[in-house]
Structure 1
Amino acid sequence: MAENSAPEATPAKKGKLKLIILVTLVVILAIALSVAGTLWFLGGGLPGMGDDAQAEDNMAVETFVPTAYLNIEKALVTTVQGEGRQRYAQAYVAFGATDPQALVAAKLHMPLIRSQLVMVLGSSSFAELQTPEGRQGLAESMLATVNQVLEQEGEPSVNQVLFKNFVVQ
C-alpha cells in the first residue's frame, strides 16, 4: 500500500504548483494592467505609442534658453524733480536678453541708449523713486526706451532692465 500512496501524492503536488504559478501570473498581469491604465489616463498615452514627430516638437518647445546680461559700467546720474530742492538720482543698470545679438546691438548703440535713459531717469519725480512701485515703473519705462532705440536701429530687443545699484538723495 505504501507504493500506491506515493504515486498519488505527486499529481497533487503538481496541481498545487500549477495553481501557484497561475495565481502569480494573474497577479503580475493585474499589476501590469494597473500601471498601463494609470499611464494612459495621467500621461495621455503609453510610452512608445505616441507620434515621434510630436515628441520631437515637445522637446523643441521645452528647450531652456539662458539669459545673458550686459552691465553698463558707468552710472546714470541726473537731477530729479524734488520738493522745491534739487535732488539727485544715480542708477547702475544691466540689460538681460535671451538673444545675444540684442546685447551686442545694445553695446553698439550705447551712447544713444544712455542718453535716452538719462532723460527717462531725469523726468521721474523724487517721491516716486523712493517707492518700490516707482522704481519698478522706472525699470519698465527704461525697458520700453531701450527697446524703442533698438527697434529704430533694426535690432532685436532686450527682455529686462535691472538695477544693480540705485540711489536717490
Structure 2
Amino acid sequence: MAENTASDGAPAKKGKLKLIILITVVLILAIGLSVAGTLWFLGDGLPGSDSEESAPAEEAFVPSSYVDIEKPLVTTVQAEGRQRYAQVFVSLSATDPEALAAAELHMPLIRSQLVMVLSSSQFMELQTPEGRRGLAEKMLATVNQVLEQEGKPAIDGVLFRNFVVQ
C-alpha cells in the first residue's frame, strides 16, 4: 500500500512542474511585451530599430553666458525738482560667446551709454516694476546699438543684479 501512494504522487509533481514552467514563460513574455509596448508608445522605438535616422534633428539647447559690469552705474535722476541718486549693478546675457567678448572689449563705450540712459530716466518711473522693465529694454537696445556699430553680434538681455534709487 505504501508503494501505491508513492507512485500516485509522482505524476502530480510532474503536472505541477509543467504548470510552473508555463506560468513563468507567460510572465516573461508579458513583461517583454509591456516593455516593448512602452518604448514604442514613448516614441523611442523598439531596440535595434533605426528611428534615430528618420527623426528630424532638433535644435540643441545653448545655455546663456553672462558678463558682469563690475562697477555699478551711478547717476542722478530728476524727481519733482529734486535730484535723486540711482545705483544699478548690471549684467549682460547672451548665448553667443562672441557677443559677450565684444561687449567686454567695448565696455567703456557701453558703460557710458548706459549711464546716459539711466540718467535720462524719471525717478517715479524707476519706482515701478514696469518702469524697471522699460529701462532694461532701453539698455538692451543701447548695448545692441553699440555692438551693431562695431559690427559685432547682439546680446540677448540686460539683467539688474542690484537696483537702488534714493
Post-superposition Cα deviations, 1:85-106, rounded to whole Å, max 9, x if no partner, equal: 2222222212122322212101
Instruction: Give the deviation of 1:6 after TM superposition.
Output: 4.7
Instruction: Give the deviation of 1:50 after TM superposition.
Output: 4.1
Residue 137 of structure 1 corresponds to 134
Residue 80 of structure 1 corresponds to 77
The whole-number CA distance in structure 2 between the counterparts of 1:54 and 1:81 is 62
Post-superposition Cα deviations, 1:104-163, rounded to whole Å, max 9, x if no partner, equal: 101111222122212211221110101122112211221121112112222122222122
Contact 2:44 2:51 in 1 (8 A): no
The whole-number CA distance in structure 2 between the counterparts of 1:98 and 1:114 is 21
Contact 2:45 2:51 in 1 (8 A): no
AA partner of residue 67 (structure 1) = S
The whole-number CA distance in structure 1 between the counterparts of 2:32 and 2:2 is 46
AA partner of residue 81 (structure 1) = Q
Residue 49 of structure 2 corresponds to 49
Residue 151 (str. 1) matches residue 148 (str. 2): yes
Post-superposition Cα deviations, 1:14-62, rounded to whole Å, max 9, x if no partner, equal: 232112201221122122222322332234533442433467945x62x
Aligned residues: 166
The whole-number CA distance in structure 2 between the counterparts of 1:161 and 1:109 is 15
AA partner of residue 51 (structure 2) = D
Instruction: Give the deviation of 1:8 after TM superposition.
Output: 5.4
AA partner of residue 148 (structure 2) = E
Seen in structure 2, the aligned counterparts of structure 1 residues 86 and 28 have a Cα distance that, compared at 3 Å, is: same
| Structure 1, gaps ≥5 residues long | none
Q: TM-score, normalised by structure 1?
A: 0.80
Seen in structure 2, the aligned counterparts of structure 1 residues 3 and 166 have a Cα distance that, compared at 3 Å, is: closer
Between the two proteins, what is the percent identity of the paired residues?
A: 72
Residue 115 (str. 1) matches residue 112 (str. 2): yes
Residue 124 (str. 1) matches residue 129 (str. 2): no
Helix, strand or coil at the partner of 1:156: coil
The whole-number CA distance in structure 2 between the counterparts of 1:155 and 1:38 is 49
Seen in structure 2, the aligned counterparts of structure 1 residues 2 and 168 have a Cα distance that, compared at 3 Å, is: closer
